[in-house]
Amino acid sequence: MTNAESGSPDKEPATTDQAARMTLDNTERAEPASQQPPERPALGRLFVANLWAANTFTVTLLSLVLAMIVGGILMIVSDPDVLATYSYITARPADALNASWALVSEAYANLFKGAVFDPDAVGLTAALSPISETLTYTAPLVFTGLSVALAFRGGLFNIGAQGQATMGVIAAGLAGFLLPLPAGLHLLVAVFAGAVGGAVWGFIPGILKARTGAHEVINTIMLNYVAVYFLVWLITQNGVQDPNRTNAISRPVDASAQLPRLFGDDLRAHAGIILAVLATWAVAWLLNRSTLGFELRAVGSNPAASRTAGISVTRTYVLIMVFAGALAGLGGSQMVLGTTAAALTPLVVAQIGFDGILVALLGRVKPWGVLLAALLFGALQAGGNRMQSYSGVSLELVTVLQALIVIFIAAPALVKAIFQLRAARAARPQTSLAKGW
Amino acid sequence: MSTMAVDDVAVSPVNEGFWTRARKAGLVLTVLGLLAVLLFTALAASEPARFTLSEDASGAALKINGTVGAALFGAVALAAGVAILAGLPKRWFTLVLGVGLVGFVVSFLCWQVSTAPAGQNFMPLVNIVRGTFILALPLIFGSLAGVLCERSGVVNVAIEGQLLMGAFSGALFGSLSGNLWVGLIAAAIGGTFISLLLAVFAIRYLVDQVVMGIVLNLLAVGITGFLYERLMQPDPAKYNSAPHFSNWEIPLLSEIPVLGPALFAGNIFLYLGLLLVLVIHIALFRTRWGLRTRSVGEHPTAADTLGVRVLRLRYRNVLLAGAVAGIGGASYTLALFSFTKNMIGGKGFIALAALIFGRWSPTGALLAALFFGFADQLATYLSAINSSIPSQFLAMLPYLATILAVAGLVGRVRAPAADGKPYIKG
C-alpha cells in the first residue's frame, strides 16, 4: 500500500541506519558536488537539521515516546495509591510527581531490563537472558510480519496471518508428534508442513479473490475463526490429545522435531531467529530482484495497468496469498517447534498473526524494516513479562503500547504537529493509502 | 462485496448463461435436500422427537417420529431446491429458498433430537428462541454500528473494540455509581471514544480504515485488559459489580406461546436493539438524514456538490455508531455478566459478518444476526445432548456462510460504493 501512494517506496528509509544514509544521500542529491563545493554545509550539521524533521526514523522514535507517555498516564490513573496523592496536588505537588515518577520509571526500567540488559545480572547466562527472551518472541513475529507486508506490497490486506499461523501450527505440530522420523529430517518435514498448512489457508482467500472478487479482508477474518475452531476440535481427538491429560492439549512434539537452542539449554532462544533472518533476506530478494516480485509490486500499485501490460493478475493474487500464507504458517510452526510451547493448545499461536499486522505497518512494509519492527515488538513482549512480575504492571500494557505506536506511525501528520517537526527532506510524511472494501 | 478493486480487475466475468445465481442456489439446496433425505433419515432413530413449547420437557409439544420427520422435511428442502433449479419465477425465489432451508434445518433437528440419549430427546423451543435472541443481541447492536458507519462510507472493522469498550466502561461506571443509567450512558461514551479515534484518524488523517479498525481493536483489548487487571481484579466489589437490568415482562404479549417468553420478557437491551433496527431502517430509507447518509456513502462528490457536508455527516455517523455499539457491549455487563478480559471474544467480527451477510441493511443485519445467534445456540444445545456433531463445526457456520455469501454463491453482496474511501474535497 505504501507503494501505491508514494511514488517511490524504495526511497523511504526504514531503519535508523538507512535513515541516516538516506539523509546523506539526499543531501548530496540536493547539493550536487559541482556547485561550489566550499559552500557546502557540513554533513554533520545537515544531519542534525534533518533529524528533527518528519522523516521515518524521527517519526518512529517519537511515536514510541508518545506511546510510552500515554502508557505512563494509564499506569498512574490505574494506581489508587498514586492517584490518592493527586487529591492534594496543590498543597504538595512534589508528592504526586515523585510517586508518579517512581511508579512509571520503575516499570519502564524493568521493561528495559527484561528486554535488553539487566545491569544486576550475574554470570553470562543471566546477562544473555533478556536478549534470548527478546529473540524468542521476535522470531515468529518476523514471519507473520513478512506475510502481511508481502501481501500489502501486492495490494492485498492479509488479516488472515492469524488463521494461516494457526493452520501452520496444526500441521507442524501433527508432523512433530505423528511422524516417526530421524532427527534432522523430522525437523525439516515439520517446518515444511507448517509452511504448507499456512499456504493452503492463504490459497483459499487468494483464489476466491481472483475468481469471484470476494474481498480478502472479509474472507481472511472469517478463515481466522474457522482455523481456531478447527484447532480446538482437533486437539481433543483420539491420537492427537495427550492421553495422560483430560484438558485440551495435544501430545508433545518429539524432541527430534524441535528447533535447536542457540545459547545452551538454559536460554530459550532457538534457531527460529536464524530462519527469520534468512526469510527476511529471501523476501527482500523476491520483492526487489525477482520477476515475480516485480509483477507483485506492479499489481499492487495498479492492477488494471498490470493486466494491460500482460501480467496475469489472477495468478499473481493467488501466488501472493500462497506465499503470505506459507510465511505465516512458518511463523506459526515456531510456536510449537520452538521453545514457547511443545504441544498444541487452543491458545498456542497467541496473537502473532494480529501482531504481525502491526509489525508490518511499523516496518513500513519493507522486509528489513519488518525485521527491526519485530525486534522491537519482541523486546516489548519480553520486557513486558518482567514488568508484570517485578512491577506488577499488567502485560496488557504492552498491547496498548504496540497499538499506540502503530496509530502514531500511521498518522505522521499528527506526530509532526505535536512535536512541531520540520517537513522532511528525505521522505514525505506518509499516510497509509486508504482504500475501500 | 464485489469491490472497486474487483470491478477494475474484472477477473473472468461470470458467464450468466443457464447457471444463473438462482440456479446455483437451487443446486446447493437440492444437494442439501438429498443429504437430508438420504443421510439424516438413515441416521435418525425411529424414536419420537419432541419440540416442547416450554423451557423443559413438560407441557405441550410438537411430536414427530425421528425418521419420518427427517425424511419429510428433507423432502421439503429437496422439492424447493428442484423447483428453483427448474426455473422458478423470480418473485417466488426468496420464499421458496427460505422454506427449503428451514426444511433442511428441521430435518437435521429431527435426526439430532431423535438420537439424543433417552430422557433428553426433546428440544425446548422457548430456550432455543430466547437463547437465539440473547446471543444475537451484541451482533444486532454491532452490525447496526456497522450499518451507520459503512452506509456513510467509513469501513468499521473496530466493532469488536467498540463493543468491548462499551462493556468495560458500562461495568466500571455502573459499579462506581451503582446506577444502571449512568452505566448505560458511560457504555455509550466508551464506544464513542473508540469511534472518535476511528473518525479522526480515518477522516482527518486519512489512515487506511481497515488498518485503523484492526489497531483500534487491539488498543481496546489492551486498555480494557490493563485496567481490568489493575482495578477490577484486585477490588471487584468496588470496580466490577455493576447492577443488572432486570427483565421487563410486557403484559399480554408475553403470554404468546414460545415467542412471548422469549421476546416479550427480556431486558431493556432486547427491546432497545429491536427498536433501533426499526428506527435506523426507517431513518435510513425514509428521512432526509438517511438519503444524505446513503448518498455520502455512494458518491460523496455528488453529495458535496448538492451541499451536503460530507465530512461532518461522516463524523456524526461514526460517533453515533460508536454509541450504538457501546450500548451493545453493555448488554453483557449491565444485564448478564460482570466484566472479564476480552469478553467480547470475536462477536464484533461476527457482527461484521452479519452486516455483510445482511447486505448493509438494518433488517438484513437483524436477520443475519438472528441466524448466527441460532447457530450459536444450536451448538450449545447439541453439545448438551451429546450430539455426534462437534460443536466447533457449528460454531464455524457463521464464518463459512459469510465466505459463501461474499464469494457470490448466495446472491450478490455489494458494499456502498464509497465505503472505505476517504473524501478529499477539491
pLDDT tens, position by position, B98-117: 899 889 988 988 888 888 87
Q: What does each C-alpha distance from B326 to B144, B161, B269, B303 come to in angstroms?
A: 11, 9, 12, 29
Domain presence at residue A302: yes
**Minimum Cα–Cα distance from B409: chain A residue:** A212
Closest to B154 (Cα-Cα) out of B209, B212, B200:
B209
Q: How far apart are CA B77 and CA B73, in angstroms?
A: 6
Domain presence at residue A161: yes
Closest to A374 (Cα-Cα) out of A340, A382, A282:
A382
Write out chain A residues lying below 8 Å of B400, CB-based. 222, 226
pLDDT of residue A171: 96
Mean pLDDT of chain B: 86
Q: What does each C-alpha distance from B384 to B118, B121, B214, B381 come to in angstroms?
A: 13, 11, 35, 5
Residue B255 contacts by C-beta under 8 Å, 6 or more apart in sequence?
none
Range of the domain at A180: 132-365
Tally of domains within chain A = 1
Write out chain B residues lying below 8 Å of A72, CB-based. none
Regions of chain A short of the pLDDT cut 50: 1-36, 426-436
Write out chain B residues lying below 8 Å of A78, CB-based. 226-227, 230-231
Here the cell at position B362 is: 438494518
Q: What are phi and psi of B123, to 5 degrees?
A: -125, 115
Domain presence at residue A14: no
pLDDT of residue B293: 94
**Count of CB pairs separated by less than 8 Å, A with B:** 195
Nearest to A399 among B208, B218, B407 (CB): B218
> Does the CA dihedral B90-B419-A216-A224 come out positive or negative?
negative
User: Within the 407-426 window of chain B, which residues sit less than 8 Å (CB to CB) from chain A?
Assistant: 407-408, 415, 418-422
ipTM: 0.85
**Given pLDDT bands bounded at 50, 70 and 90, which one contains residue B140?**
very high
pLDDT > 90: percent of chain A: 53
Closest to B5 (Cα-Cα) out of A325, A153, A212:
A212
**CB-facing half-sphere around the CA of B404: CA atoms within 13 A:** 12
**Minimum Cα–Cα distance from B7: chain A residue:** A213
What is the CB neighbour count within 10 angstroms for residue B282? 12
Cross-strand bridge partners of residue A53: A422
pLDDT digits (tens, 9 = 90+) for B53-100: 777 777 777 888 888 888 999 999 999 989 888 877 878 888 888 899
Query: Residue B354 in contact with residue B150, Cβ under 8 Å?
Result: no
- Residue B221 near chain A (CB below 8 Å): yes
**Most distant CA pair in chain B, distance:** 72
Q: What is the mean pLDDT of residues B211-226?
A: 93
Mutation choice for A interface testing from B156, B201, B211, B356 by most A CBs within 10 A: B211
Query: Residue B156 in contact with residue B321, Cβ under 8 Å?
Result: yes
Here the cell at position A265 is: 539449554
**Most distant CA pair in chain A, distance:** 80
pLDDT of residue A4: 40
H or E element, residue B364: helix B362-384
Nearest-Cα distance to chain A for B155, in Å, is 7
H or E element, residue B80: helix B66-85
Q: What does each C-alpha distance from A320 to A192, A200, A217, A279, A315 come to in angstroms?
A: 18, 12, 14, 15, 9
pLDDT digits (tens, 9 = 90+) for A41-54: 677 777 776 677 76
Closest to B374 (Cα-Cα) out of B176, B129, B7:
B129
Nearest to A232 among B12, B392, B402 (CB): B392
pLDDT exceeds 70 at position B11: no
pLDDT of residue B277: 96
Nearest to A435 among B208, B218, B228 (CB): B208
- Quick one: DSSP state of residue B229? I
Query: Residue B22 in contact with residue B408, Cβ under 8 Å?
Result: no
Q: How far is CA A117 from the centre of its chain?
A: 21
* C-beta atoms of B8 and A304 within 8 A: yes
Q: What are phi and psi of A241, to 5 degrees?
A: -65, 145
Q: How far apart are CA B147 and CA B157, in angstroms?
A: 12
The rounded radius of gyration (Å) of the Cα atoms in chain B is: 23
Residue B414 contacts by C-beta under 8 Å, 6 or more apart in sequence?
B1, B2, B359
Domain presence at residue A417: no
Domain presence at residue A384: no
Residue A231 contacts by C-beta under 8 Å, 6 or more apart in sequence?
A166, A169, A170, A344, A346, A348
Domain presence at residue A117: no
pLDDT digits (tens, 9 = 90+) for B21-56: 778 788 888 998 998 888 888 888 888 888 887 777
pLDDT digits (tens, 9 = 90+) for B260-274: 777 888 889 999 999
Q: How far apart are CA A389 and CA A392, in angstroms?
A: 6
**Minimum Cα–Cα distance from B349: chain A residue:** A221
* C-beta atoms of B3 and A400 within 8 A: no
Nearest to B225 among A79, A361, A399 (CB): A399
Q: How far apart are CA B333 and CA B182, in angstroms?
A: 13
Write out chain B residues lying below 8 Å of A206, CB-based. none
Cα-Cα-Cα-Cα dihedral of B225, B231, B234, B236, to 10°? -90
Write out chain A residues lying below 8 Å of B209, CB-based. 434
**Minimum Cα–Cα distance from B345: chain A residue:** A225
> Does the CA dihedral A327-A332-A338-A339 come out positive or negative?
positive
pLDDT of residue B1: 37
Nearest-Cα distance to chain B for A46, in Å, is 29
Domain presence at residue A162: yes
Mutation choice for B interface testing from A221, A347, A352 by most B CBs within 10 A: A221
Q: What are phi and psi of B10, to 5 degrees?
A: 45, 65
Domain presence at residue A332: yes
What is the CB neighbour count within 10 angstroms for residue A341? 19
**Minimum Cα–Cα distance from A312: chain B residue:** B11
Nearest-Cα distance to chain B for A230, in Å, is 7
In order of their start, the domains of chain B are 4-115 (no CATH), 126-406 (1.10.3470)
Write out chain B residues lying below 8 Å of A208, CB-based. 403, 406-407
* C-beta atoms of B231 and A78 within 8 A: yes
